[in-house]
Amino acid sequence: DQQVKQNSPSLSVQEGRISILNCDYTNSMFDYFLWYKKYPAEGPTFLISISSIKDKNEDGRFTVFLNKSAKHLSLHIVPSQPGDSAVYFCAAKYNQGGKLIFGQGTELSVKP
């Protein structure tokens, strides 16, 4: 049972344009959501997070939007840079526990 889903395995964007990565979840008990970026042969790197009581969080070029009624979140990267090319994972947490439940990842390719 995939509780966190990233339906797009890959995304290609031109440098300077906006990248939008999407994530859907099924469990309404999730209280916290995070995005991680992963390069090959490295561990996931934390990007940005959002609490379930908010609908938007911004950090530099990265903005995460949360739509609780639709059980959907998205990561916007503006402007996209070639160095952003990586696999992006969406993850969710419950209030009581620390474990992260990950989506399958979306591979972003930013072309110069």
Partner 1 sequence: DSGVTQTPKHLITATGQRVTLRCSPRSGDLSVYWYQQSLDQGLQFLIQYYNGEERAKGNILERFSAQQFPDLHSELNLSSLELGDSALYFCASSVGPSLADTQYFGPGTRLTVL
Q: Which residues bind partner 1 (CB under 8 A)?
A: 31-32, 34, 36, 41-46, 49, 51, 89, 91, 93, 95, 97-105
Q: What is the dihedral of CA 59, 68, 17, 62, to 10 degrees?
A: 10
Closest CB 112 distance from partner 1, rounded Å? 27
- Taking the least distance from each CB to partner 1, the nearer of 43 and 60 is 43
Q: Which is nearer to partner 1, 66 or 93 (CB)?
A: 93
| Burial category of 76 from C-beta neighbours within 10 Å (exposed 0-12, middle 13-18, buried 19 and up) | middle
Smallest distance from partner 1 to CB 14, Å: 28
CB of 110 to partner 1, least distance (A): 22
Q: Which is nearer to partner 1, 1 or 112 (CB)?
A: 1
Neighbour tally for 41: CB within 10 Å: 5
CB proximity list for 41: less than 8 A, separation 6 or greater: none
Least separation, in Å, of the C-beta of 64 and partner 1? Answer: 14
